[in-house]
Structures are given as C-alpha cells and as structure tokens.
Amino acid sequence: MCASQMHRRPRRSRFARHGFTLVELLVVIVIIGILIALLLPAVQAARSSARAAHCANNLHQVGTAFNRYIAQKGRVPGWSTVLNNMDTYLEGQEAAIYRCPEATQSISYGANPCIHRILDEADKVVVLDAKETQVQFEYTSSDDWMAAVDPRHRGMLNVLFFDGRVERKSPADINPYSASEVFDPLKANWRPRRGGCYVCNVSPPPPGPGYVNGLLGHYRNGINDFAGPPDAVRVDANLRYPFGTGHACEASPQNQYWKPPGIGTVHSVVWSGQIYFERNETYKFYMSFDDATLAISDGVTVLNVMGHAWSNCMIYVGSIDPPCGWVDFVVTNVNYDGPSQVRLQWESPSTPRQDIPTQYLRTVAP
C-alpha cells in the first residue's frame, strides 16, 4: 500500500450523527415549555376537581351521620352538634371529615344556625363551605353573608341539603339576599317553615310585661293529681333546692325545708315558664332529684325519670338543641317520702356548668 493511501483520511459515513446545535436545543425547550403551559391548567383543574370531590364526599358523610342522628334521636340536631358532636354517627375520623382539602383556614364548613327548627324540608341548607361556623341569614346583610361563606371550588360552594344530597352551587343561587320575583332563597333554602329561630348571642332581655323572672311552681299534696288545683303557688328564682345541711349530696349548707307552708312530705310540684337560650348550640342539663322527675323544653323531653327513682346523689344528664330566645320549659318533680331535693344545672360549649341564673328564667306573674 502506498504512503499516500496510508495517510488518507477515512471517509465519513453519510449516516454519522450530528450533535444538536444551540438553536435546535432552544427550540426544543420552547416547545416543551409551551406544552407544559398548555397542560398545567388542565392538571391543576383536575387536581382542583379531585379536591372538590373529596370535599363533597366529606359532606355526604356528614349528611349520612345527620340522618342517622335523626333516626335514632327522633329530632333534628342543632348546628353545634352537627359540626362538633357527630363522631358516634360518622364512618371516618371526625377531624378528617370536617376538613376540606381546598380550605386555607382552620374552619372548613359552616352550618345553618336554624337546622334544629327544620321539619322535613328537602331543600333547606344544612352545611356548606364557609369561613364561619354559623352562616347567619337574617338580621345581617348580603356582604356579611358573602364574607361568611367560602366559594373555594372555582367560585362555587359545596352544599349539603336536608335530604342528604350534596350539590355544587354558585353563591348567588343560595344567597338569602338575592330574592327575585320567581325565587326566594331565604324561604326556599334557609328559613324553617315553622320559624322560631332568633338572633343569637344576645343577653336575656327583661322578662317583659306580665312576666317575672323565675319559674312558677304549682305544689300539690299527694303524687297522683297533676291537673287539680294546687295547694300552694310560688315563684321560685331557680331550681336550687338541695337536701340540706350535712347531707352527703351537699357540700354547702342549704335549707332542706324548702317546701311552701301546707305542703307535706309526699307531694308533687310542676314548675313552668320559659328559659332563655343565648346561642344555637347543644345545651346539657344536669339534674339531681328525689324521687322522680320529668323535664320538657319546647315540647322535647330532656329528662324522663318518673317512677320511684331516688337519685341517691346521682346526676342525670339530658341534652337539647334549642333555638335562640325564650323557650317553654316545664319540670315536674315527685317526692314519695323523706326530705325533698331538686337541682337543675346547664352547660353548653360557651357556658360552663352552673345553676341556671334567675335572669334566664321567666314566668307569667301569678
């Protein structure tokens, strides 16, 4: 082989690979960026839809628990119970169910403060996306209502209705201040047909004309005649009549002979009047008594321990979800023998356990 052939450069194959030029790389990067920009909103929308569906599923579970409560208790729970005390009826962890994944604050849902007054009204709002736990719909304004709700799902709200369905609604669809000639959300979606839901968080007003603070007690000798004329009538400031000095149930001295003159050991008493509730929340009543008692609030039985059931220092507990304002209240107590005793206390999420203050009780002046 000659020298010229030995030093000849090898021929490059026409199939040899060329490297990318800078321009080509930039073009590819721009194309990828455009594709990402086109796909990102779709991905974000899909994620947002998934979070909205998760939120709606939370409300479905709350609705299931809500209906279980009604089936078991025979009454509709108050807003505070729906948002705080439904763990017995929920299928998952309560904390997780009450947390919307789209929420940016600690409160995810708010409730209709008048739930407990709703009858079988399918289109009434129970719970919805909100920034406040109570979504007031009267004695407020459209701006305040809009500030209370939270349309966090692309401007829409997840709403649980009384019949258990969950729908995504525009705030304008259920704004109680957006009534038109053909549709009034206040009546259709918020206000109970039977009314009875008042402004909350207001201290009790004076008892009013014809009323006095306290409960009216009708005392009768014997234990079987609750309808006959009373043997004594007295307005009692509260139901704080313990056994008396030295009794094991009492730590402080009290007068055990609290019955009116002329009333014997075996007797019954019916206290009647009204009790004032400041808030739409669950109230617990604690009652000790001797020997049997029955307490009814707004037609709902709070405690029913009739029959010879000497309490022997036991405390019986009942709860209700009342409306705000003055509510009818009746307590019947029977004493078969020995010293008489009765004590009624209350407690709520915003009220520590205590004897019911006199200003929260009123009755028709005798």
What does the pLDDT read at residue 151? 95
What does the pLDDT read at residue 159? 97
Asked if the model's pLDDT at residue 22 lies above 60, the reply is: yes
Asked if the model's pLDDT at residue 145 lies above 50, the reply is: yes
85 & 172 share domain: yes
Q: What's 323's domain CATH number?
A: 3.90.182.10
Residue that finishes a domain, picked among 190, 222, 239: 190
Say if 43 falls within a structural domain.
no
Mean pLDDT over 8-34 rounds to 70
Contact by Cβ (8 Å): 270, 231: no
220 & 341 share domain: yes
Instruction: Give pairs for 146-155: CB < 8 Å, separation 24+.
Output: 146/171, 146/175, 148/110, 149/110, 150/103, 152/100, 152/102, 152/103, 152/104, 153/48, 153/51, 153/52, 153/55, 153/102, 153/129, 154/48, 154/52
What does the pLDDT read at residue 256? 45
114 & 236 share domain: no
What does the pLDDT read at residue 174? 96
Mean pLDDT over 7-18 rounds to 55
144 & 231 share domain: no
What does the pLDDT read at residue 251? 45
What is the count of structural domains for the chain?
2
Calpha distance 258→23 (Å, rounded): 101
Which domain covers residue 351, as residue numbers? Answer: 211-364
86 & 170 share domain: yes
Q: In which band, very low, low, confident or very high, does the pLDDT at 253 lie, cut at 50, 70 and 90?
A: very low
Mean pLDDT over 262-289 rounds to 87
Q: Which residues lie below 8 Å from residue 178, measured CB to CB, with a gap of 6+?
A: 142, 172, 185
pTM value?
0.54
Q: Which residues lie below 8 Å from residue 30, measured CB to CB, with a gap of 6+?
A: none
The tokens describing 105, both together, are 């604050």
How many angstroms from the chain centroid is the CA of residue 317? 19
Q: What is the mean pLDDT of the chain?
A: 82
Phi, psi (deg, nearest 5) at residue 65: -65, -40
273 & 177 share domain: no
Mean pLDDT over 265-284 rounds to 87
Phi, psi (deg, nearest 5) at residue 66: -60, -45
Asked if the model's pLDDT at residue 8 lies above 70, the reply is: no
What do you get for the CA distance between the two ends of the chain, in Å? 138
Distances (CA, A) of 67 to 13, 71, 165, 250: 79, 6, 11, 41
Asked if the model's pLDDT at residue 169 lies above 90, the reply is: yes
Q: In which band, very low, low, confident or very high, does the pLDDT at 321 lie, cut at 50, 70 and 90?
A: confident
Say if 260 falls within a structural domain.
yes
88 & 127 share domain: yes
Mean pLDDT over 152-176 rounds to 95
pLDDT digits (tens, 9 = 90+) for 54-84: 999 999 999 999 999 999 888 888 888 898 8
* Other CB atoms within 10 A of residue 164 CB: 15
150 & 182 share domain: yes
The tokens describing 100, both together, are 């919307």
pLDDT digits (tens, 9 = 90+) for 183-199: 999 999 998 887 656 55
What does the pLDDT read at residue 249? 55
Say if 132 falls within a structural domain.
yes
131 & 271 share domain: no
Contact by Cβ (8 Å): 360, 276: yes
Going by the DSSP 8-state scheme, the letter that residue 176 receives in this structure is T
309 & 354 share domain: yes
The owner of tokens 């009768």 is: 220
Mean pLDDT over 275-280 rounds to 84
